[in-house]
Amino acid sequence: MAQPIGIYSAAIEFNPPNEIANLDFWEQDVLSNLDDAIAYYQNALELYPPDHPDRSVCLYNIATSLSFRFQQQKEITDIEMSISLHRMTLDLLPSDNPDYSSALHNLAASLQTKYEHQEQSALSDVDEAILLGRQALDLRTSGHVYRSVTLNNLAISLQTRFRERGVASDIDEAIEFGRAALELRSLDHPCHLASIDNLVTSLLLRYEGGKDAGDLNEIIRLQRGTLEIRPDGNPYRSKCLSALADSLRRRFECQGEFTDLDETISLHREALDLRPIGHPDRADSLYELTTTLELRFERKSMSEDLDEAVSLQRAAVDLHPRDHWSQPINLSNLAATLQTRFYHRDIASDLDEAIAAFQEAEELCPLDHAFRPTLINNLAVGLQTRYQRV
């Protein structure tokens, strides 16, 4: 009965959802099959005496099944029980057992999962996950079929700890492990794109702290590669376009190359085309394209950029009903751009429409909203400008 550990560990190695291997009950989302599996394993466990050599197999398989069920149902008791059973499995397995690294790895994964989902989580869970992950990695030497998975998960845990403690060595090591995982995952590997995403996340965290141009250039290179893998028709292409656009905008703001800004606008336009009315991310695309056009207008004073920004902001307002929570900000953004266009062209209708939009935003904005003082101030500026113009 020793074989099931090795077989099942291949299916339950922890990763983000798009990296989890397909099992019949997972692929079909038939939770009853998983519940039945857990019940059978628990029945088998009761039949094994404490010193039976196959008891660790049952403990392991129950623990991994509970991990799977947690991914679907998010019952914290499942992941807590999974951790407890993985600990019992490790106590029973000798360190030279071929499945010892899987037990280490999956306990680390369950601890990381618990930290991410428990309301009052303890960073000590992440510390332990990193320690266990390092031990698993030592056992999964070059050529091990699951080495890339452990490298990937270690990178994720180190990212988490860096966000909480800000220790530079953690994010440096996360990048090192992320690069190593990506090298082991060729273009046709099912987790290749997830490895790119994780590495980009680590590089971005380090860039935000140190503004190293080399990190940003590597991010852009990786994101361009992701776009090539996700051609037209891929459901994730619009997100890739937006991510690359954001990185190019960051580089423009640091280096001032207008080719980066122009490409940012082109990418946001393409992303918007892929997000028609009804798409959950259309509002984000409208906003990102608008702000980038306004940025280029500030630098180049191209009237057509301002006209397009106004049109996009009208579309953002029309996207939601009047009582939607975002409307005060949408209306205020439209008013501010119209006000800018008035200053640029001195067309009275732009100022009148800006004031009307500010007034409607003020009516819709809750009295205790943090944005309300700014909104009222902008309305006052508009009214004063119109008064002085008369």
Q: What pLDDT is attached to residue 251? A: 97
**Res 41: pLDDT:** 82
Sign of CA dihedral 346, 347, 353, 359: positive
**Amino acid (1-letter code) at residue 192:** H
Q: What is the pLDDT of residue 9?
A: 41
CA distance 125 to 24: 31
pLDDT score for 1: 35
For 288, counting Cβ atoms within 10 Å of its Cβ (0-12 exposed, 13-18 middle, 19+ buried), the class is buried
- What is the radius of gyration, based on Cα positions, of the chain? 27
Per-residue model confidence (pLDDT) at position 328: 95
> pTM here?
0.83
- Which residue, among 316, 225, 237, 302, has the nearest Cα to 274 in the 3D structure? 237
CA dihedral of residues 237, 238, 244, 249 (deg, nearest 10): 170
DSSP conformation class of 22:
P
Q: What is the mean pLDDT of each run of 10 residues along the chain (390 residues)?
A: 37 37 41 80 84 86 89 91 94 90 94 91 95 97 95 96 96 98 94 94 95 95 94 93 97 96 98 96 97 96 96 96 94 96 94 94 92 92 87
For 226-243, the DSSP string reads HHHHS-TT-TTHHHHHHH
pLDDT at 26: 39
- What confidence score (pLDDT) does residue 390 get? 67
Residue found by looking up tokens 């009237």 in the block: 303
| Cα–Cα separations (whole angstroms), residue 280 to 118, 132, 352 | 27, 39, 32
Residue 135 and residue 138: Cα distance in Å, rounded?
A: 5
